[in-house]
Amino acid sequence: MNRLGAAAALQKLREGNARFAAHARGTGTLLTAARRAQLTAAQEPFAIVLGCSDSRVPVELVFNQGPGDLFVIRVAGNIVAPSLIGSVEFAAERFGTRLVVVLGHSSCGAIEATIEELHRPTTNQSPNLRAIVDRIRPGVEELITRHKAEGALAVEHAAMTANVRASVKQLRHGSAIIEGLIATDGLVVTGAWYSLEDGKVEFLEETLPA
Ligand SMILES: [Zn+2]
Buried b (16+ CB within 10 A) or exposed e, 187-210: bbbbbbbbeeeeeebebeeeebee
Q: Rounded to whole angstroms, how far apart are CA atoms 118 and 97?
A: 38
Q: Compute, in angstroms, the gap from residue 35 CA to the centroid of ligand 1.
A: 31
Q: Compute, in angstroms, the gap from residue 37 CA to the centroid of ligand 1.
A: 34
Per-residue confidence in pLDDT tens, the chain, 210 aa? 677 999 999 999 999 999 999 988 776 677 889 889 999 999 999 999 999 999 999 999 999 999 999 999 999 999 999 999 999 999 999 999 999 999 999 999 999 999 998 888 877 778 888 889 999 998 788 888 899 899 999 999 999 999 999 999 999 999 999 999 999 999 999 999 999 999 999 999 776 655
Q: Compute, in angstroms, the gap from residue 76 CA to the centroid of ligand 1.
A: 6
Instruction: List the one residue out of 181, 168, 119, 177 whose CA is nearest residue 144.
Output: 119
Cα distances (angstroms) measured from residue 204 to each of 47, 109, 130, 166: 16, 22, 28, 12
Q: Is residue 21 exposed (0-12), middle (13-18) or buried (19+ Cβ within 10 Å)?
A: middle
Where does 70-208 have alpha helices with state H?
Answer: 82-95, 109-119, 127-136, 140-147, 152-173, 176-185
Enumerate residues with CB within 5 Å of ligand 1 (an ion). Answer: 52, 54, 108
User: For the whole model, what pTM was predicted?
Assistant: 0.93
